[in-house]
Amino acid sequence: MTDVVLISGSPRAKGNTEFALNVCKDAIEKRGLSAKIISLRGNPIQGCIACGECGKNGKCCLKDGLNDMLDDIKEADGLILGAPVYFGTARGDMMNLIQRVSMVARANGNWLSGKVGGPVVVARRGGLTSTLQEMLMSFFISDMIVCGSSYWNIAFGHAPGDVAKDAEGMATLEKFGDNVAKLIIQLRK
């Protein structure tokens, strides 16, 4: 079991989403919790087809990599979802993942309930806060506990690794990761 699962919705190797999530991961591990990044790179995630099968067998009927991630997500106490902004919204595969995981969880006793976490968003310049809000919708309706930080969980960058230069973004994400870990530890007491 991993304490916190972080999912990167970027298709790029060593991209900004992965960098940002690694900052959160390091902060979580500093508190003594385990954390694991799952990447959607090379693993396209289809959209929900509203078949209702997940309500019958606990898994999604679509045969891409999503079912392989479900056990990790289900067992974790924390979930952090990271995405790049594409045309002012979260990259489609991340929204597909959010919608399908939320549906499988909801159709099976809402096993996302009570998990601690939140979204993380990167972009070159525009659409960060609206994308954060777009992703937040699923956390709230799934009865999850969203942590804050010293700013919104956003970081600016275009070329892979650029976000490292956004000092405020990095500090925000470090604090966010630390808050996620602190809250999980508190809730276990």
Ligand X SMILES: Cc1cc2nc3c(=O)[nH]c(=O)nc-3n(C[C@H](O)[C@H](O)[C@H](O)COP(=O)(O)O)c2cc1C
Contact residues toward ligand X (CB under 6 A) are 10, 12, 15-17, 84-88, 122-127, 157-158, 160
Nearer to ligand X (CB atom), residue 16 or residue 172: 16
- Closest separation in Å from C-beta 131 to ligand X: 8
Complex with ligand X: residue 112 or 155, whichever CB lies closer: 155
Q: How far is the CB of 12 from ligand X (least distance, A)?
A: 4
Q: Which is nearer to ligand X, 30 or 158 (CB)?
A: 158
State the nearest-atom distance from the C-beta of 91 to ligand X, in Å. 8
Half-sphere exposure of 95 (CA within 13 A, CB side): 13
Toward ligand X, which CB reaches closer, 87 or 167?
87
Please, what is the minimum distance in Å from the beta carbon of residue 93 to ligand X?
11
